[in-house]
Amino acid sequence: MTAPSYRQTLVTYLAPQRGKVGLLAVVLVATTGLQLVVPLILQRFIDGALAGEPSAVLMAAGVAYLVAGLANQLFSAVTTYLGADVGWTATNHLREDLARHLLGLDMGFHTDTTPGEMIERIDGDVTAVAEFLSRFVVKLLGAGLLLIGVIGVAWYTSPLIGIAYTGFVVAVLAIVYSMRTMAVAAAEEERETSAQLYGFIEERLAALDDIRANGAGASTMRRFVGVMRDYFFRTTAAWAKRTRFRVTSNLTFWIGSALALALGIRLVQTGAATVGTAYLLYQYVLLIQSPIEQVTQQFSELQKAAGGIVRIDQYRSIATTLRIEGDIELPAGPLSVEFDAVDFSYEDQQILHRLTFELAPGTVLGLLGRTGGGKTTTTRLISRLYDPDSGTVRIGGHDLRDVRLSSLRRRVGVVTQDVQLFRASVRDNLTFFDHRRSDEELLTALDSVGLGRWIRSIGLDAELGAGGSGLSAGESQLLAFARVFLQDPGVVILDEPASRLDPATELLVASASERLFAGRTVIIIAHRLETVRRADQIMVIEGGRIAEHGAREVLAATPGTRYARLLEAGGGALLGGAV
């Protein structure tokens, strides 16, 4: 990570806080001045006491020392608060920008990246940067001001002392600067290994039931030990390299303190300096130890943050394969859907082949086919989670690439088999944390799916467990329907919403579905024929091609059609899947 990249990051996220940064700079200058004044007051006190000055003069110096010390503590607290406020505010904006960017990427990125990795980038790496920024201005800038002040006082006291101090500071800073990039690569590997560890844990926790059911616990633990071993050794290597800074710093200041003490004694013995001046000389060496150690520590923190900034910039540089400059707003009401010679592939595997069909506004289409046929891929193209390799997908007569993505997301509603519910209130789960919706709107939507009475009994602010724990599969599915009612889209995609429901609950979902179908274009991915008995049209996709497409009643009444044969076989289940 190069220095210009750090400057760009700092300028981008600190510039909006110019006022706070300016106030922080003023307080830092005042704090630095007090730190320089305190040793001068002690020098005056020591020399005055040895010279037999009146006790009133010494008392005044003592009071001045106490006042300066208290003021210094107060200013230090203020700088710490302002530094933390500036740092965390800046990185919260960085975290928000990164999360928004990742959510805007196409489905291909999210398929290849585990949630654990993204969490580590958005939370772990940004937190490392936050901790650095929250101390950067306070400690690093304060240390720089203090070093300049000490060197200035040293030159004012004696040119010889000024030369000695300047040479010492330059030598120490040169050593620190030469070691500045030592652990950047190790820190980057450490954070990357941490992301892999969290990704591994997240995936295994999500598959915990399957791991237990198939007796894969021992195998999973062996792999976990391997991941942890790699994490341990890389973390230890990075820590060892960062520790060299502190060791080098301590050695340097042991030497500097010894030389300052020897020089002070020599100057007093030769009469070239008073005892107070000798004390000042030694005290200033101790005083500059703190800022140089802070500089050293901040370089160490910079190295830890460097790996995070590198990966944050890598994620921010990932461009979506979706063209996002479209500016067409889709109109209200049901929308037509059209596929014109659409080809699509996942990497090297072609899924859809010259897919062509058209749905008039308000049509309900049942989409049938075996696993891997391309049913779910077709609906993902309508949602524009991907763009086709060739051909055109149109909604409402508009090429999806010319439609504003935010408009498309509003006008296309999706209900999947696995409903995602959050550990939050019913209200937040319905609105995705959008508090602009009124209670009346929410209750109307819930009434539409048959949940109004139940919700009124527990309240819209009742807390739901993570993943909808405490709710039945039917209640979760009906909440998902209510979300779509609130969204009021022109196109609705249902991915077998009743596949996990008992017959009684399925009737409730079917009733809610009929209300949802009214005034909308609907595409139902069906794994059971019962699900599509209310469809206007049936489309069977096999091997990424349309094997059959027509009016449901016509296909059902025509002997020899695939749909008719399935009905004759008793409406058995079809094998469906997410392809």
Inter-CA distances, 365 with 235, 337, 395, 531, 572, Å:
55, 11, 15, 11, 19
Residue type, 49: A
β-pair partners for 390 = 343
Q: Given this model, what pLDDT does residue 356 score?
A: 95
Q: Is 49 exposed, middle or buried (0-12, 13-18, 19+ CB in 10 A)?
A: middle
Look at residue 181 in the predicted model and tell me its pLDDT.
59
What pLDDT score does 302 carry? 67
Query: What's the CATH architecture for 337-568?
Result: 3-Layer(aba) Sandwich (3.40)
DSSP lists the bridge partners of residue 352 as: 344
Query: The whole model's pTM is what?
Result: 0.64
Quote the pLDDT of residue 151.
85
What CA–CA distance (Å, rounded) separates 356 from 343? 10
Predicted local confidence at residue 3, as pLDDT: 42
Per-residue pLDDT at 31: 85
The full set of domain ranges for the chain reads 3-317, 337-568
pLDDT at 391: 94
CA 351 to CA 130: how far, in whole Å? 44
Residues 486, 492, 494, CA angle at the centre, nearest 5°? 110
**Alpha helices, H only, 318-330:** none
CATH number of 3-317: 1.20.1560.10
Q: In tens digits, what is the pLDDT along the chain, a chain of 579 residues?
A: 444 455 676 678 878 888 888 888 888 888 888 888 888 888 888 888 888 888 888 899 889 989 988 998 898 888 888 888 888 888 888 888 888 888 878 787 887 787 777 887 788 788 877 777 776 667 777 777 888 888 888 888 778 778 887 888 888 777 766 765 555 556 666 767 777 787 788 778 777 878 887 788 888 888 888 888 888 888 887 777 767 766 776 777 777 778 777 877 887 888 777 888 787 777 777 777 777 766 666 666 666 677 677 778 778 888 777 777 788 999 989 999 999 999 999 877 899 999 999 999 999 999 998 878 889 899 999 999 889 999 999 999 999 999 988 899 889 998 887 778 888 888 998 888 888 888 898 898 888 888 888 888 888 888 887 766 667 777 788 888 888 888 889 999 988 766 556 666 666 677 777 777 888 999 998 877 777 888 899 999 998 999 999 999 999 999 888 888 888 876 444 444 444
For 434, other C-beta atoms within 10 Å of its C-beta total 10
Sheet containing 364-368: which strands, arranged edge to edge?
412-415, 491-495, 521-525, 364-368, 537-542, 545-551
pLDDT at residue 573, rounded to an integer: 43
Q: Which amino acid is at 171?
A: A
Q: What angle in degrees, to the nearest 10, is found between the helix axes of 55-103 and 18-50?
A: 160
